């Protein structure tokens, strides 16, 4: 067995739970899935924002309530138009966040909700 397999086996044997920010216990598999998903969201959103900047976009439209399992901050952000700088600083609201961005067309006169 590898070190990783030994580590996972030890966690399963002891029943160790990882606590999220709300104090909820989660299994090692759930925790690993969250960490991976957050890394994917950060990478994808970062790439979308670099692309928007390269296209000369004035900002992005936020999609943040796609799966129906949202909180107030995500619902408020959904469909807003943000500057690229603001979006870079707010790529996701919380772990497991599914926020994504779509570049506004260059020269789009839309007012930005957040700068």
- Structural domain boundaries, residue 60: 3-103
Q: Report the Cα 34 to chain-centroid distance in Å.
A: 10
pLDDT of residue 89 exceeding 90:
yes
- Flag whether 43 is in a domain: yes
Q: Report the Cα 39 to chain-centroid distance in Å.
A: 8
Rounded (10°) CA dihedral 67, 70, 73, 75: 50
- Flag whether 112 is in a domain: no
**Given this model, what pLDDT does residue 59 score?**
94
- Total domains in the fold of the chain: 1
**Given this model, what pLDDT does residue 80 score?**
94
pLDDT, average across residues 82-87: 96
| pLDDT per position as a tens digit, 10-63 | 777 766 677 666 667 777 788 888 888 889 989 999 999 999 999 999 999 999
pLDDT of residue 1 exceeding 80:
no
First to last CA, the chain: 51
Alpha helices in the chain (DSSP H): 3-14, 28-54, 72-77, 84-89
């Amino acid at each position: 067995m590898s070190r990783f397999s030994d580590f996972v086996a030890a966690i399963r044997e002891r029943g160790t739970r990882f606590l999220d920010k709300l104090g909820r216990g989660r299994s090692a598999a759930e925790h690993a899935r969250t960490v991976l998903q957050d890394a994917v969201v950060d990478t994808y959103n970062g790439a979308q924002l670099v692309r928007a900047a390269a296209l000369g976009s004035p900002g992005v439209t936020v999609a943040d309530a796609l799966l129906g399992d949202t909180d107030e901050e995500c619902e408020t952000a959904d469909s807003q138009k943000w500057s690229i700088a603001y979006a870079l600083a707010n790529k996701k609201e919380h772990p497991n966040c599914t926020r994504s961005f779509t570049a506004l067309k260059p020269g789009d006169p839309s007012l930005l909700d957040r700068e």
